[in-house]
Amino acid sequence: MTAVLMMVLVVLGCIAALSGAFALGVFWAARRQTPPPARALTEEQQRAVDRARRELENFFAYDGTEQRRQP
């Protein structure tokens, strides 16, 4: 009877150790994946972002009509 009880306790201890290690791993990984603080953009970088945003808006606003060159 004591051997069965010891076996059950060993199995429960292994399960507790594995679940504790899993929980610690999840929390450690979540803590490491926090993004670094954002830096302020320079004027040149901000102009590049604005230019790219305008190009993307123009791209998605195109409805397929024929475009003609202005004389």
Each of the 71 residues of the chain gets a pLDDT tens digit; together they read 899 999 999 999 999 999 999 999 998 887 777 777 888 999 999 999 999 999 999 999 988 888 787 76
Cβ(57)–Cβ(49) below 8 Å: no
Phi, psi (deg, nearest 5) at residue 68: -115, 145
Q: What percent of the chain has pLDDT over 70?
A: 99
Query: Running DSSP on this structure, what letter comes out for residue 54?
Result: H
Identity (one letter) of the amino acid at 10? V
Report pTM.
0.43
